[in-house]
Amino acid sequence: MATVTVHSLTFTYPKRSRPVLDDLNVTFPSGKFSLLTGVSGGGKSTLLKLIAGLTPLPTAGSITFNDQPLAEIAPTKRAATVAMLFQEPSTQFTMDTVKNELRFALENQCVDPADIPAKITAALDFIGITDLQDRLLMQLSGGEQQKVALAIIVAMDSDVILLDEPFASIDPPTRLALLEKLVALCTKRGKTIILADHDLSNYDRWVDHLAVLDMGKLTLLSPADTQARFAAFTPDKLQLTHVVLPSDQPVSLQGTQLRLGHGERELLAPQDLALFAHQATLITGPNGSGKSTLFRALVRLGKYQGRLTYDGTDIQKLPRKQYARSVGLMFQAASSQFLNVTVAEELALSRKFGNRDYFTAERVQDLLAQLNLAEHTEQIIYSLSSGQQKKLQLLCMLIMAPTVLLLDEPLKGLDFASIQVVMHILTTVQRDLHLTLIMISHQLSGLDDLITLHLALADHHLTYKGAPA
Amino acid sequence: MNPSLKLALVILIALEVSFTQVWTVNVALIIISLILMFVGHVKWKRLLWLTVVPLFFASALVWSLALQGTTTHHFLIVIFTRMFVYVYMGGLFTQTTDPLTLTRSLEQNAKLPSKFAYGFLAAFNLMPKIQAEVATIKAAALMRGQVLHVWSPQLYFKVILAAMNWSDQLAAAMTSHGFVEGAPRTHAITVALRARDWWVFGIGLILVQVGLFIGLP
């Protein structure tokens, strides 16, 4: 049991004038589930990292656990005091396999070697992932990795559990399952949980006070206001009113007996697959089912069996350079896309080789303003928040205007307002330039205007959904 | 054999071979390494690589030294075989040692600070990630109309940036799973340092000394 108290905390990143957190005072009560929300770039991640002790505090003692600063807690007890689940699932492990990572964490806590196997089994059982114990961490899907990370926190028996948008790349059923485990940790084991999320669905039963972080200030809403916020937040539903089954549209990419898999593990059983030109296709499916793997295969970054053709020619026979200009991928991790240092340089590169007739300097400026990026043009890309990076990434790839643009979770980590803006821009550009868009998204709201075809991946098979045309 | 002791033995022998000129000992070490690699089921393709690459460099070196004409045949043979001793012994070590066991052994038997032991492991685990990252960067550049070659500084800029990012992430990951520099740890799996390991180590070293002593002119 631990109460987390933040005493007048002000935090400014080096070389920035405006503080991210401005004289923040808040108490997260022991054994309660606290939910933190706010716009992207509002300082949620910063606050959680400061609490977790991952970012050094500007003044020691401004965050305490039961009135004790983290630095004063014995090193081997720190992980038992506070632990954090990261936004990016794959970046939180040191070792190769699930079991080894659990061993590593328990060794750090000086757990008697004789007790380690039992603790590992108990933690894996609690989360329900005993079958994953000998798997390689890097081969797990994002959802599975988050489950493993949570199992490690369970094994370490941390009093305070911090979660930074842990469900950003996770499908709704997995999200609900993880949420139930978290609530069980809270109610049955008295853990203090602080979770940052944009998506407010399914929290109404468990959260009394919603904490809103905006402009460096934190407001704790009353129970009535909190419930009103939750009620106003309609859970994401996949509403696709324009979707019909494909008829005789022209085909852009065609797979013949296409099979995808990691080694022995089959993701997509051999099937024929047509992707249609000038349409906006949405691909949905559970985590780790192979959606991103399909995209990597389509841009020749991943292995596949069978044949893939673009406009009738085998993609392996097309010159790499030419093909890369025709079929582009917006990576799930924004940082993979960037090649330069500042926002302005990145945009200049896109305009140099992209569609300059459509994306005139004025239009780009206008889009930057719409995306709230206009004031950040001289900023170093890697110092932008994850939401800002995502928006810049999308703009860069839109300016390139490849004939086929694959979008892997383009709305990941964006707040509601940003999603509306991004979807509006995407829809306009797609209509104006007749682009072929193929999108993977777990974020389901706001897609209706754009999407014309829907591919569902289930049981190793991709099938088109919708009413007959 | 205990990984730390194996590493010490390989390094010691390599050092000795560097400062002596007995080609018979070199040949003996090459044969022993080869036999041990066969026993350790090292893949044929690996063995072929371990042979072809040093063959090229050793031949080039011997050829240029021979052209100079001031070196004896004996020295040329020593140089040629020495190159293979290095590569085969290095190959024997890396191909028959599990990095995680080595890390645990360095931490437990060699009393290396855990920071270095796990730092080494993390660097090792980073290798495949770097390869994948390079492929991704090249593809990302192509999609933006830029061709990045092996010699493009931008490629290295991005890889270094990615590596710096990983090192931050790794530090955060280790911290969040309870790793504190210099703090005591327990060991879920102990790596044994048996009497047999010391015997192999001692006898191996003595045999090399005897060989060198007999072989010295």
- Residue-wise pLDDT for A111-130, tens only, equals 999 999 999 999 999 998 99
Distance CA A336, CA A332 (A): 8
- Say whether residue A435 is in contact with chain B using an 8 A CB cutoff: no
**Mean model confidence pLDDT for chain A:** 89
Query: Where residue B45 falls among pLDDT bands split at 50, 70, 90?
Result: very high
Residue A306, pLDDT score: 94
Tell me: do A219 and A279 sit in the same domain: no
Tell me: do A46 and A180 sit in the same domain: yes
Write out the residue range of the structural domain in which residue A302 sits: 251-465
| Interface contact flag, A113 B186, Cβ < 8 Å | yes
- Decide if A396 is inside a domain: yes
Tell me: do A202 and A257 sit in the same domain: no
Q: Domain boundary residue among A205, A232, A259?
A: A232
| CB within 8 Å of chain B, chain A residues 124-183 | 152, 156
The one-letter amino acid at A189 = R
Q: Domain boundary residue among A232, A266, A281?
A: A232
Q: How many domains does chain A have?
A: 2
Closest-CA residue of chain A to B178:
A79
**Does the model's pTM come out above 0.90?**
no
Using a pLDDT cut of 90, give the percent of chain A over it: 49
- Backbone φ and ψ for A165, nearest 5 degrees, come out as 40, 60
Q: Which of A330, A54, A52, A204 is nearest to B136 (CA)?
A: A330
- Decide if A154 is inside a domain: yes
Closest-CA residue of chain A to B152:
A339
Tell me: do A160 and A226 sit in the same domain: yes
DSSP annotation string for B196-211 = HHHHHHHHHHHHHHHH
- Tens of pLDDT, residue by residue over A29-69, are 888 899 999 876 678 888 999 998 888 888 878 899 988 88
Residue A77, pLDDT score: 83
Distance CA B149, CA B30 (A): 38
Of the residues B104, B142, B144, the best mutation for testing chain A's interface (the one with the most A CB atoms within 10 Å of its CB) is B144
Instruction: Name the token pair of A432.
Output: 């104006």
Residue A414, pLDDT score: 86
Query: Where residue B207 falls among pLDDT bands split at 50, 70, 90?
Result: very high
- Say whether residue A393 is in contact with chain B using an 8 A CB cutoff: no
Tell me: do A260 and A216 sit in the same domain: no
- Backbone φ and ψ for A50, nearest 5 degrees, come out as -65, -40
- Say whether residue A350 is in contact with chain B using an 8 A CB cutoff: yes
Candidate from A103-107, A143-147, A442-446, B59-63 with smallest mean pLDDT:
A442-446
Residue B217, pLDDT score: 64
* ipTM score over 0.90, yes or no: no
Distance CA A292, CA A407 (A): 10
- Say whether residue B153 is in contact with chain A using an 8 A CB cutoff: no
| CB within 8 Å of chain B, chain A residues 37-56 | 49, 52-54
| Interface contact flag, B145 A352, Cβ < 8 Å | yes
- Say whether residue B174 is in contact with chain A using an 8 A CB cutoff: yes
Using a pLDDT cut of 70, give the percent of chain A over it: 97
A45, with CB counted inside 10 A (0-12, 13-18, 19+), is: buried
Within 13 Å and on the Cβ side, how many CA atoms surround B45?
A: 0
Please determine, for residue A253, whether its predicted confidence score (pLDDT) is greater than 90. Answer: yes
Tell me: do A144 and A265 sit in the same domain: no
Residue A365, pLDDT score: 94
| Interface contact flag, A107 B137, Cβ < 8 Å | no
Which whole-number Å values give the CA distances from B77 to A293, A394, B12, B31, in the listed order?
52, 61, 21, 16
Tell me: do A118 and A264 sit in the same domain: no
Residue A315, pLDDT score: 94
Distance from CA of A456 to the nearest CA of B (A): 26
Distance from CA of A400 to the nearest CA of B (A): 7
How many residues would you count in chain A?
469
Chain A residues touching residue B189 (CB < 8 angstroms): 103, 113
- Decide if A364 is inside a domain: yes
Within 13 Å and on the Cβ side, how many CA atoms surround A104?
A: 29
Query: What number is the average pLDDT over the span A351-360?
Result: 91
Contact A72, B157 (CB under 8 A): no
Distance from CA of A397 to the nearest CA of B (A): 8
Coil, strand, or helix at residue A368?
A: helix
Contact A24, A63 (CB under 8 A): no
The one-letter amino acid at A352 = K
- Decide if A17 is inside a domain: yes
Query: Where residue A234 falls among pLDDT bands split at 50, 70, 90?
Result: low
Tell me: do A156 and A212 sit in the same domain: yes
Chain A residues touching residue B147 (CB < 8 angstroms): 321
Which whole-number Å values give the CA distances from A233 to A198, A202, B148, in the listed order?
10, 10, 46
Instruction: Name the token pair of B18.
Output: 């560097």
Q: Domain boundary residue among A232, A261, A294?
A: A232
H, E, C per residue of A64-114 = EECCEEHHHCCHHHHHHHEEEECCCHHHHCCCCEHHHHHHHHHHHCCCCCC
Tell me: do A299 and A351 sit in the same domain: yes
Beta bridge partners of A254: A274, A309
Cα–Cα–Cα angle for B175, B112, B195, rounded to 5 degrees: 130
DSSP code at position A306? E
